[in-house]
């Protein structure tokens, strides 16, 4: 008997390019998650129109229409439950979540962040990486905890910083890595191969641990 796929909702606030990659991945045979809803706190988010055009439930919950964060999150939670959500992927979702929401979805909510956490949490990660002169930058998929950009790390992709990079060129290279990493990390979690234990993510025995890492060679990045 085939395992039921994990019912996954994606939270976005804008462009939604990571969301698009998750949707595409979930349409490939054997992928362990299905996308049951795309939800945005910004009704005008480009990603929402993309999802709607593909027949996915695309839901706008405008945070500005709610007096408190708790009221917004109650509505969000209801929408998630209405779609039988088991896992959440935040993908460029730009709202801080309260402890109440984070606790309800503990170990069931992933986020992607454009740096190798715990380096460079927060905004402007690419410029900050350039300012610090790091030679390896990248992106991280992690389980969500209350403190922003913290939580058990599922998978990371390393991206080289090249001479002459600007925040824009480096950001493009990182985004390309994000597009590979997020579908891979969701598959690890949805299949049960990656699980939180003691605030670390363990990848099941018998599974190639290296598959939780993406380290493109410098040569590949230069050519
Ligand atoms: C990505 O770089 C993601 O890591 C960050 O916000 C950006 C969202 O881009 N959290 P997109 O909306 O997925 O195109």
CA 82 centroid distance within chain: 22
Q: How large is the average pLDDT for residues 66-79?
A: 97
pLDDT band at 2 (very low <50, low <70, confident <90, very high): confident
- Band the pLDDT of 222: cuts 50, 70, 90: very low
Rounded Cα gap, residues 215 and 192, in angstroms: 23
The three-state secondary structure class of 26 is: helix
Are 1-105 and 112-206 in the same CATH fold?
yes
pLDDT at residue 3, as a whole number: 82
Which ligand 1 atom is the nearest neighbour of the CA of 19?
Answer: 13
The pLDDT-based confidence of 81 (bands split at 50, 70, 90) is very high
* 3-class SS of residue 20: helix
Q: Mutate which of 93, 95, 112 to test ligand 1's pocket (most atoms within 8 Å of Cβ)?
A: 112
Distance from the alpha carbon of residue 115 to the mean position of ligand 1, in angstroms? 11
pLDDT digits (tens, 9 = 90+) for 94-114: 999 999 999 999 999 999 999
Distance CA 101, CA 98 (A): 6
Predicted model pTM? 0.94
Q: Which of 91, 140, 141, 186 to mutate to test the pocket of ligand 1 (most atoms within 8 A of CB)?
A: 91
Residue that has been written with the tokens 């986020």 in this structure: 111
Strands (E), the chain: 6-12, 33-40, 58-60, 87-90, 109-113, 136-143, 153-160, 194-197, 200-203, 213-214
Q: Is 112-206 a domain of CATH 2.40.50.140?
A: no
Q: Return phi, psi of residue 108, to 5°.
A: -125, 10
Nearest atom in ligand 1 to the alpha carbon of residue 12 is 12
CATH number listed for the domain at residues 1-105: 3.40.50.170
pLDDT digits (tens, 9 = 90+) for 85-99: 999 999 999 999 999
**Annotated catalytic residue: which of 63, 77, 83, 113?**
113
Closest-CA residue, ligand 1 atom 2, reads 114
pLDDT in tens, 6-55: 999 999 999 999 999 999 999 999 999 999 999 999 999 999 999 999 99
pLDDT, tens digit, 9 for 90 and up, residues 161-212: 999 999 999 999 999 999 999 999 999 999 999 999 999 999 886 666 666 6
pLDDT at residue 97 in the model? 96
Sequence ranges of the domains in the chain: 1-105, 112-206
Residue-level pLDDT at 213: 65
């Amino acid at each position: 008997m085939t395992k039921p796929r994990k019912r996954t909702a994606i939270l976005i606030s804008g462009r939604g390019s990571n969301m698009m990659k998750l949707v595409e991945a979930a349409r490939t045979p054997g992928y362990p998650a299905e996308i049951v809803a795309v939800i945005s706190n910004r009704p005008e988010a480009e990603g929402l129109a993309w999802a709607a055009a593909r027949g996915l439930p695309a839901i706008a919950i405008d945070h500005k229409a709610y007096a408190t964060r708790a009221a917004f999150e109650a509505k969000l939670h209801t929408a998630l439950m209405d779609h039988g959500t088991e896992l959440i992927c935040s993908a460029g979702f730009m709202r801080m979540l309260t402890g109440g929401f984070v606790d309800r979805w503990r170990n069931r909510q992933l986020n992607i962040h454009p740096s190798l956490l715990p380096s460079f949490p927060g905004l402007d990660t690419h410029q900050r990486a350039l300012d610090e002169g790091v030679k390896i930058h990248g992106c991280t998929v992690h389980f969500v905890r209350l403190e922003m950009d913290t939580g058990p790390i599922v998978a990371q992709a390393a991206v080289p910083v090249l001479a002459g990079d600007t925040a824009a060129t480096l950001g493009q290279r990182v985004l390309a890595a994000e597009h590979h990493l997020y579908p891979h990390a969701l598959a690890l979690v949805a299949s049960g191969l990656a699980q939180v234990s003691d605030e670390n993510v363990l990848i099941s025995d018998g599974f190639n641990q290296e598959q939780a890492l993406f380290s493109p060679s410098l040569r590949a990045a230069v050519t």
